[in-house]
Amino acid sequence: MTRSAPPPLIQRASGRRRKKRGAFVWLWRLFLVLLLWLCGVALYIVHVGGRDEAVGDKIRADAIVVLGAAAYDARPSPVFEERIRHGIDLYKRGRASTLIFTGGFGGSGARFSESQVGRRYAQRQGVPARAILIETVSRNTRENLREAAKLMRQKRLRRAIVVSDPLHMARALRICAEVGIACLGSPTPTSRYRSFDTRWRFLASEVYFFHRDLFVRHR
């Protein structure tokens, strides 16, 4: 006895369910691919930030570039202070003979630029004024490094060690390549981004900037 075909209405309903199920499967696969990609980018950022290329007594460069961060009048923020201290330590260990501090004025009422605050701190730690270069116009990481590149060209400095926070290092090194700085990365050994919440938010912002820089053309 042959089985009769289901009524057309049931066939159409079954077809719609299959289409919905198929669309859901593809959306789920797309979500997994996107999630894996983002995790891969995050792991890359963490990996680069955990690698200090300035380790070793034979490592030498022409300059140490300290990326700017917030300053409160004449006092560096805790994040900036960690960067300044690491830059000074590299200088005193003979990794380079010139310190370059970057960072402009944080606001219209600021008396000192970030770089001036860094220079003042370094001089108090015994770094001579002749060993320090600063720029006072930059407002973000890309401008920090663009202005540092100008100073290096003016002074005929060819190679730099770049200092920043570990999770910031991947973006800094990528921008160095774009602005023409031959560099090594040296992340701060400690970071003020210590809690899970602050580290997570910092990492999330760096993942965002990684993708933004892929699509936004900078002058």
Question: Tell me, what CATH number does 146's domain have?
Answer: 3.40.50.620
Phi, psi of 165 (to 5 degrees): -70, 155
Residue 150 forms part of a structural domain: yes
Task: List the alpha helices (DSSP H) in 72-195.
Answer: 78-92, 114-124, 141-154, 169-179
Q: What range does the domain containing 91 cover?
A: 63-215
Residue 55 forms part of a structural domain: no
Residue 207 forms part of a structural domain: yes
Cβ 101 vs Cβ 114: under 8 Å: yes
Domain count, the chain: 1
Q: Encode the chain (219 residues) as per-residue pLDDT tens digits.
A: 555 555 555 555 555 666 667 677 888 889 999 999 999 999 999 999 999 999 988 899 999 999 999 999 899 999 999 999 999 999 999 999 999 999 999 876 779 999 999 999 999 999 999 999 999 999 999 999 999 999 999 999 999 999 999 999 999 999 999 999 999 999 999 776 666 677 888 899 999 988 888 777 666
Residue 29 forms part of a structural domain: no
Cβ 111 vs Cβ 73: under 8 Å: yes
pTM for the whole structure: 0.84
